[in-house]
């Protein structure tokens, strides 16, 4: 015990004496621990926010949707039956597909989506069954207490902000069918309120709640058919499961989930995100740990004479190891405490940025587990990474005391090194396992994989630095000295380069992917649509009038247009097989795909065939689709299907599809004559079943739209002209699709960029540490340089060249790898007709390289400034 106190005292004094180098070592650990604490906190906050209490979250005991997209009166009758049977206690519906356009009072667009907001049609008396929708104003309200009259709307905070409305205001709204009316704002939701459903679309655009009575003047009966049925049971798991099974049995097209199942699904989704967050934290910690090794190695090197002296006085090798392990542990404890505090502060920022990812406002909360984990991980990491330097210290021969002072360390055997690295890997693997929620195998793979890949990369980077050392470029004396120094201290410089490359790779990958995605969508819209405005006609009479106006060439900038119609229908059977059987085929196909590791992403495209048909003029088909087999439909009784329909429902050319027209309740038949694939992988097909335009227009529930190409420069003028001709016309500038996509991508990318920046910051701290250590090792050399006439600026310039080169190369390699990886990933988005666009702007390229060099230089100046301005005699005399 007394020995332990002695060692601790000795170690603590050494840390105090270490000054800047101790500070940087502590900072290295602190940054890593902070990353882990902040990211775990964020993970928990997301989980708590999204998947809180199951029933409250779902607002019901069982939530039912249908692959046929909405529930007809016949469908709802089945729920009435279940209620009468006592299987369910009650049910209510929600319409999520209706939207309203609300402009600002001055007539300008109120959001980037053509002033479009989702309008949920709900029964305020029943909705929701569980949990309260939190109001900002009036305080402590509920939907049923404010939505008491027709013509009232409750806005979410985003919509209220967008249109600049407050409670009591009257707003002008229009449906996409062109119906207009006035609504009174009776409540505004708190920004902590989440939207119904899980896809986040409503949070993204903004939304409001209206009652069915309010919806009537705006939407036709077909448009306001519910897409979700919320069911109340006796609120036990047994009752939930029984209701779910009964609902599923009622129709194979119903998808019923208990609130518990929905929450489990949500949690699984979030678990992936939490694992990703943990990985990022681990990378930051591993980067920080390299700082501990470097610091301890330099500490041991610089104190080799001192260590030799105490060994000459009788200290044993084992005791030496203990002294240095204690020193590492003290650094770990201090670093971890700082890291936890820093991590909690960082959590505040993280919670804000993560809002864009989950479309919810996240509450900052202190969680105990990340703090405990952060402290343990920080200390253990510091000790484990301090083992190698401590062992080196124990091998310093006592005779060293008699020789000239040196910073070099004794060589230790390969076996000892390997053994220590093995111990480090095992301990780090176990820690990774703890962080990854007990997945120890993954933890060991992560630790070992990181070690091996980092070692390989460090070797490659050492080779690059060796080459740079041999590269005489005409940049003058400072460059020459810098490249020689780089060549000499390759190991440490290669580590610095690696962390810089990892940081820049992460940031650049997210940015390039985001910009490529935007560019690919833009190109897809321009190439495959070929139009830039969409007019939705109120009815066919208006469609004909508009077509006549366009044909008269009076509209400024008009170039061409096509017409398409979309109709809501029900598929009864196809190829002589009823819908229930088709659904079974779909399930079997999905299982087969899962077994073979194939994607089931196209299944939702195939399901569109159950509820939608599209009518297109035959000459417009080739603009959207590439014929896979068969031919283009020629008559009103023929149809083409998307390849996904063929694949998932097992249909073929010649099969007959029997549909029911929901409004007229009449059946009709279409014969499959061709199979197509969408030319565009991102935007997808217009529909999964395409027939002639007249056929689609013959179905009463259809909507006819004109896709118009205007001269891009005259687009605003063209829209104004048509609006003047047809007051209340629903005409949309399609650039809003680009806006939607861009905003969506920006929202999603902000968080990963922040995560990547975290790695980069950890890298910058490590660079500062490495520079400080390099300067420390070269103090005498710097003193000599100054004694023969170099001033401080020159000494700093040489060091700046060194780290600048490392930063530049690290940035360049990181950026190059990110471009390469992005290119491979982006290709997945392309099709032969619409190849993906790899968008690497000069701005991003230059920005990333400058960021790398700038960070390296900033780290250098901050850590080397004091040392290079030291008076030479202080270094030469007292070192």
Nearer to other proteins (CB atom), residue 546 or residue 785: 785
Q: How far is the CB of 300 from other proteins (least distance, A)?
A: 20
**For other proteins, which is the closer residue by CB, 309 or 735?**
309
Give the tokens for residue 480. Answer: 């020459």
Give min distance, CB of 462 to other proteins, in A. Answer: 16
Output 467-472 pairs: Cβ under 8 A, ≥24 positions apart. 468/805, 468/809
Provide, rounded to whole angstroms, the least separation between the CB of residue 489 and other proteins. Answer: 9
Per-residue burial over 42-68, b if 16 or more Cβ lie within 10 Å, else e, is: bbbbbbebbbeebbebbbbbbbbbbbb
What count of other Cβ atoms lies within 10 Å of the Cβ of residue 833? 16
Exposure string for 204-238, b = 16+ CB within 10 A, e = fewer: bbbbbbbbbebbbebbeebbbbbbbbbbbbeeeee
What's the chain's length in residues?
879
**Closer CB to other proteins, 589 or 786, in the complex:** 786
* CA–CA distance, 151 with 147 (Å, rounded to integer): 9
What is the rounded distance in angstroms from the CA atom of residue 11 to the CA atom of residue 389?
Answer: 14
Whole-number Cα distances in Å, 555 to 536, 560, 719, 841: 17, 11, 9, 37
Please name which of 336, 335, 307 lies closest in space to residue 321, comparing C-alpha atoms: 307
CB of 474 to other proteins, least distance (A): 14
Whose Cβ is closer to other proteins: residue 404's or residue 596's?
404
CB of 792 to other proteins, least distance (A): 6
CB nearer other proteins, residue 766 or residue 798: 798
Shortest approach of other proteins to residue 871 CB, angstroms? 5
Helix (H) or strand (E) segment spanning residue 841: none
Q: Which is nearer to other proteins, 491 or 847 (CB)?
A: 491
Closest contact distance (angstroms) between CB of 790 and other proteins is 5
Residue 508: how many CB atoms within 10 A of its CB?
A: 28
Other C-beta atoms within 10 Å of 35: how many? 31
Which residue has tokens 């060549």?
Answer: 487
Nearer to other proteins, 201 or 780 (CB): 780
Least gap, CB of 468 to other proteins (angstroms): 13
Q: Decide whether 576 or 789 has the Cβ nearer to other proteins.
A: 789
Which of 482/564 has CB closer to other proteins?
A: 482
Residues 6+ apart with CB under 8 A from 749: 510, 511, 513, 514
Q: Which is nearer to other proteins, 170 or 403 (CB)?
A: 403
CB of 331 to other proteins, least distance (A): 24
Binding site for other proteins (CB under 8 A): 404, 477, 481, 484-485, 487-488, 780-781, 783-794, 869, 871-874, 876-877
Structure tokens belonging to residue 129: 């069954």
Spatial neighbors of 604 by CB under 8 A, at least 6 apart, are none
- Vertex 600 angle, CA 67 and 746, to 5°: 90
Q: How far is the CB of 774 from other proteins (least distance, A)?
A: 13
Using the minimum distance from each CB to other proteins, give the nearer residue, 182 or 791.
791
CB of residue 869 to other proteins, shortest distance in Å: 7
Least distance in Å: CB of 312 to other proteins? 20
Q: b/e for 717-733, b at 16 or more Cβ within 10 A?
A: ebbebbeeebeebbbbb
Helix (H) or strand (E) holding 39: helix 20-50
Identify any residues that bridge with 154 across adjacent strands, giving them in sequence order.
187, 209
């Amino acid at each position: 015990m007394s020995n332990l106190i002695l060692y601790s005292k000795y170690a603590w004094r050494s840390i105090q004496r270490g000054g800047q180098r101790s500070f940087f070592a502590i900072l290295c650990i602190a940054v890593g621990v902070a990353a882990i604490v902040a990211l775990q906190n964020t993970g928990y906050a997301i989980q708590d926010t999204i998947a809180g209490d199951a029933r409250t979250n779902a607002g019901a005991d069982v939530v039912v949707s249908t692959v046929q997209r909405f529930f007809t009166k016949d469908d709802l009758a089945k729920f009435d039956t279940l209620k009468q049977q006592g299987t369910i206690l009650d049910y209510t519906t929600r319409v999520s597909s209706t939207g309203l356009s609300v402009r600002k009072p001055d007539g300008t667009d109120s959001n980037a989506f053509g002033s479009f907001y989702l309008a949920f049609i709900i029964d305020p008396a029943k909705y929701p069954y569980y949990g309260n929708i939190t109001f900002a104003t009036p305080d402590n309200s509920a939907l049923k207490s404010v939505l008491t009259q027709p013509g009232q709307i409750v806005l979410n905070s985003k919509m209220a902000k967008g249109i600049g409305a407050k409670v009591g205001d009257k707003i002008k709204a229009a449906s996409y069918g062109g119906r207009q009316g006035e609504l009174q704002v009776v409540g505004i939701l708190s920004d902590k309120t989440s939207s119904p459903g899980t896809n986040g679309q409503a949070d993204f655009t903004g939304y409001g709640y209206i009652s069915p009575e309010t919806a009537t003047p705006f939407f036709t009966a077909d448009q306001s058919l519910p897409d979700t049925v919320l069911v109340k049971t006796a609120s036990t798991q047994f009752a939930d499961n029984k209701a779910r099974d009964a609902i599923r049995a009622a129709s194979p097209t119903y998808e019923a989930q208990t609130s518990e199942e929905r929450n489990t699904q949500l949690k699984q989704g979030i678990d992936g995100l939490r694992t990703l967050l943990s990985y990022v934290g681990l990378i930051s910690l591993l980067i920080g740990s390299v700082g501990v090794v470097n610091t301890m190695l330099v500490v041991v090197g610089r104190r080799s004479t001192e260590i030799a002296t105490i060994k000459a006085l009788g200290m044993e090798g084992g005791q030496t190891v203990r002294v240095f392990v204690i020193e590492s542990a003290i650094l770990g404890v201090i670093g971890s405490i700082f890291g936890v505090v820093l991590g909690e502060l960082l959590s505040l920022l993280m919670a804000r940025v993560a809002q864009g990812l989950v479309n919810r406002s996240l509450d900052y909360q202190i969680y105990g587990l990340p703090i405990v984990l952060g402290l343990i991980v920080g200390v253990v990491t510091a000790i484990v990474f301090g083992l190698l330097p401590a062992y080196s210290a124990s091998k310093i021969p006592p005779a060293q005391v008699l020789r000239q002072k040196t910073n070099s360390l004794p060589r230790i055997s390969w076996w000892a090194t390997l053994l220590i690295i093995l111990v480090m890997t095992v301990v780090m693997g176990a820690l990774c396992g703890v962080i990854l929620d007990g997945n120890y195998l993954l933890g060991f793979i992560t630790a070992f994989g990181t070690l091996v890949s980092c070692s390989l990369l460090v070797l490659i980077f050492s080779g690059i630095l060796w080459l740079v050392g041999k590269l005489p470029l005409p940049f003058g004396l400072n460059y020459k000295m810098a490249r020689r120094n780089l060549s000499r201290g390759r190991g440490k410089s290669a580590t610095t380069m690696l962390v810089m490359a990892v940081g820049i790779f992460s940031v650049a990958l997210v940015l390039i992917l985001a910009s490529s995605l935007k560019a690919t969508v833009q190109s897809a819209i321009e190439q495959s649509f070929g139009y830039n405005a969409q007019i939705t006609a109120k009815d066919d009479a208006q469609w004909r009038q508009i077509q006549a106006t366009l044909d008269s060439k009076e509209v400024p900038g008009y170039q061409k247009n096509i017409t398409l119609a979309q109709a809501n229908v029900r598929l009864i059977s196809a190829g002589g097989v009823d819908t229930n059987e088709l659904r079974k085929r779909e399930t079997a196909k999905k299982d087969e795909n899962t077994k073979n590791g194939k994607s089931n992403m196209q299944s939702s495209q195939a399901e569109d065939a159950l509820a939608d048909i599209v009518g297109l003029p035959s000459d417009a088909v080739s603009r959207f689709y590439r014929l896979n087999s068969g031919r283009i439909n020629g008559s009103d009784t023929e149809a083409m299907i998307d390849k996904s329909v063929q694949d998932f429902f097992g249909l073929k050319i010649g099969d007959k599809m029997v549909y029911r027209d929901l409004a007229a309740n009449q059946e009709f038949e279409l014969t499959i004559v061709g199979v197509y694939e969408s030319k565009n992988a991102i935007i997808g097909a217009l529909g999964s079943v395409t027939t002639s335009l007249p056929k689609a227009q013959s179905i009463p529930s259809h909507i006819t739209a004109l896709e118009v190409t205007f001269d891009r420069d005259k687009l605003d003028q063209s829209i104004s002209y048509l609006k003047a001709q047809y007051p209340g016309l629903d005409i949309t500038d399609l650039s809003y699709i680009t806006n939607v996509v861009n905003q969506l991508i920006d929202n999603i990318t902000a968080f990963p960029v922040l995560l990547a920046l975290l790695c980069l910051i950890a890298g910058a701290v490590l660079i500062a540490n490495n520079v400080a250590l390099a300067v420390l090792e070269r103090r005498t050399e710097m003193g000599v340089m100054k004694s023969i006439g170099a001033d401080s600026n020159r000494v700093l310039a040489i060091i700046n060249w060194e780290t600048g080169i490392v930063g530049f190369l690290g940035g360049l390699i990181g950026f190059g790898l990110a471009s390469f990886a992005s290119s491979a990933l982006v290709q997945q988005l392309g099709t032969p007709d619409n190849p993906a666009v790899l968008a690497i702007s000069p701005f991003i390229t230059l920005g990333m390289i400058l960021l790398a060099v700038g960070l390296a230089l900033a780290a250098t100046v901050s850590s080397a400034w004091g040392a290079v301005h030291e008076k030479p005699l202080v270094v030469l005399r007292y070192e």
